Amino acid sequence: MQQAFVELNKVRTKILTWGRWIEESQQGTNEVVILIVGNPGTVGFYETFGKTLYQQSNIPVWCVGHAGHNFPTENSFTKLPKFSDNKELYSLKGQIEHKVDFFRKYVPENAQVHLIGHSVGAYMALEILEHPEVKTKIKDVFLIFPAIEHIAKTKNGKFLNTFIRPIVWFVVFLTWIFTNLPDCLATFLLYIYMFIANIPRQLHVENIKQFLKPGIVKRVLFLGIEEMDFVEERNNDVIRRNVKKVKFCYGQSDNWTEPACWENLKADIPEVNCEVSSFEHAFVFNQSTEVACKLADWLKK
C-alpha cells in the first residue's frame, strides 16, 4: 500500500493505493479501480477492503478520501483551508468537484476505470458519471449501499436531523474534550466503545482517533447535513442512460437505504442490475474482506 496527501480542489487530500501509485506510469493493463468512500471519508477505514480487492482482482485500486476528512499532519490542520471561510470546499457540491479534480489530474485519458461508490460516495459517483472529463474513462460503476435518494427520510437521517443537527457545536466540543484527555484514558474509553460496538480494535482504533478530531468531525457533520438537505430525488435519467454499466448492491437491513429504495428503483427502471445482500452499510468494520471478494467477482464478470 502507498499513501500520501495530494491537492484536490484546493484541499490536501489523503489517497491510498494498491498495485500502482496515482503518478506511476501504466505498465500492462490500463484498468484501475477508483473508490469514492462514504461519510466519514477517513480513508483508513477502507484499508482492508482496498487490499483485499486488489489481491482478489489483480487490478490497481485507488481510494480517494473526502476533502477535509483527513488532516495532513498528526496534530495540525493549518494546511487545510479554514472551515469557516471555505465551506463551499467541504460541501456536497464541493466534494463532487473534488472527485472531478482527481480524475482531471491523475486518471489517464485511456484509463478503463471501474468506479465504486459507497454510501454517499455512490451519489457522488452518479453525479460525476457523465461529466465530460470523467465519462469517457468509466468502464463500469458499482454502487454499494448507495445513499442516493431521500436520505433525510431514512431512520438514520431522521435521527441525525432531529437529535444531532441542533447540537453539532456540542458534539464538536465533546470531541475536543476527548482529544485533550491523556492518551491512555482516551484509548481506554475508545476500547470500551469498540468492544460494545463489536469493532476490531487492532484494525480501527487509530482510524477512529483520526476521525474524532474536532476539525474533522465538524467537516463530516457539515457534509452529513448537506446530504439531508440536497440528496432527494434519485437521478433516474443518469441511471437509465448508463443502465448497462451500473450495478447496485443494497443491504437488507440498512438504516440509510431502506427496502423501499431498491423496490422503487426496480419498479422505475426494471432493467437495472440490482442485488440485495446481507452485508451491513458500515461493512468496513467487520465485513471488508467479504464485500471486497464480492466486488472482485463482479469485476471478473
DSSP letter, residue 249:
E
| Helix/strand/coil for 131 | coil
- Among residues 69, 118, 150, 281, which one is catalytic? 281
Ranges of beta strands (E only) in the chain are 2-8, 11-18, 31-36, 61-64, 112-118, 138-144, 246-251, 273-277
Q: Is 288 noted as a catalytic residue in this protein?
A: no
Long-range contacts of range 277-283, CB-CB < 8 Å, 24 or more positions apart? 277/249, 277/250, 277/251, 277/252, 278/251, 278/252, 279/145, 279/249, 279/251, 280/251, 280/253, 280/254, 281/119, 281/145, 281/251, 281/254, 281/255, 281/256, 281/257, 283/49, 283/144, 283/145
As a whole number of angstroms, the distance between CA 195 and CA 71 comes to 26
Q: Is 66 noted as a catalytic residue in this protein?
A: no
174-185 residues labelled b (16+ CB within 10 A) or e (exposed): ebeebbeeeeee
Q: Is 118 noted as a catalytic residue in this protein?
A: no
- The grid coordinates listed for 4 are 500520501
Q: For residues 179 and 256, is the Cβ–Cβ distance under 8 A?
A: no
- Among residues 118, 150, 254, 288, which one is catalytic? 254
- Among residues 119, 150, 204, 288, which one is catalytic? 119
The rounded Cα 193 to chain-centroid distance in angstroms is 23
Residue 19 CB contacts under 8 Å (≥ 6 apart), including other chains? 54, 58, 59, 60, 61
DSSP letter, residue 152:
G
Q: Are strands 246-251 and 138-144 parallel, antiparallel or unpaired?
A: parallel
Q: Which residues pair with 2 in a beta bridge?
A: 17
CB count within 10 Å of CB 165 equals 14
List the catalytic residues: 119, 254, 281
